Amino acid sequence: MRKTLFTAFVIMSISLLKAQTATPYELAVGLRVQKTEQLYWENGVGADFTSDFLLHKKIHLKLSYASSRLGSAMIGNAVRQDNVLVGADWHFRSDKDFQLFAGLNTGFFHADMELPQFDVLPHNSMLLQLETGLFYKFKFPVATSLSVAYNVINGDGVNIPGTLFPVYYQLSVFYYINKK
């Protein structure tokens, strides 16, 4: 009985391993430029992952970090703020180079006011965002994304940091590390 179970386990492991290596996937990393409506420029990095097992590359999973430390706060007197996001997008026309997408992001926002007199103000907030935009894959291993997003959780300065504005625009340029 043990021999049969062991043999079945080995066969299943090999078949699953083979299925995983045969599944085409795409992993891209890149730079992100973000402009909050009537406020700061924020720059950062991002990653985008999709695979055939994600509804034939219709769903893209993403991770990003953007900060005014790399934008407006670097060259001016802006509040240093950080955004860490994870999200998922649905790509329409996923088999084409030019795609439309819509997605949902969540994450964490932190505003560093630096001066002690601002310690009474809120510095942190969860993020919940709706996003839509355009995605274009070039023939070489580069893609670009242009989008607009809406923060469902907005800053009021009392319970949520006042610099968390509702609308932002972003441009991302990705390089494919692995594209199959």
Which carries the bigger pLDDT value, residue 60 or residue 112? 60
- What pLDDT was estimated at residue 11? 61
Residues whose CB is less than 8 angstroms from the CB of residue 53 and which lie 6 or more positions away in sequence, other chains included? 23
Enumerate the domain spans of the chain: 25-179
When computed from its CA atoms, the radius of gyration of the chain, rounded to whole angstroms, is 21
Does 2.40.160.20 match the CATH number of domain 25-179? yes
State if pTM tops 0.85.
Answer: no
pLDDT digits (tens, 9 = 90+) for 61-86: 999 999 998 888 888 888 899 999 99
Q: What is the dihedral of CA 16, 19, 21, 24, to 10 degrees?
A: -150
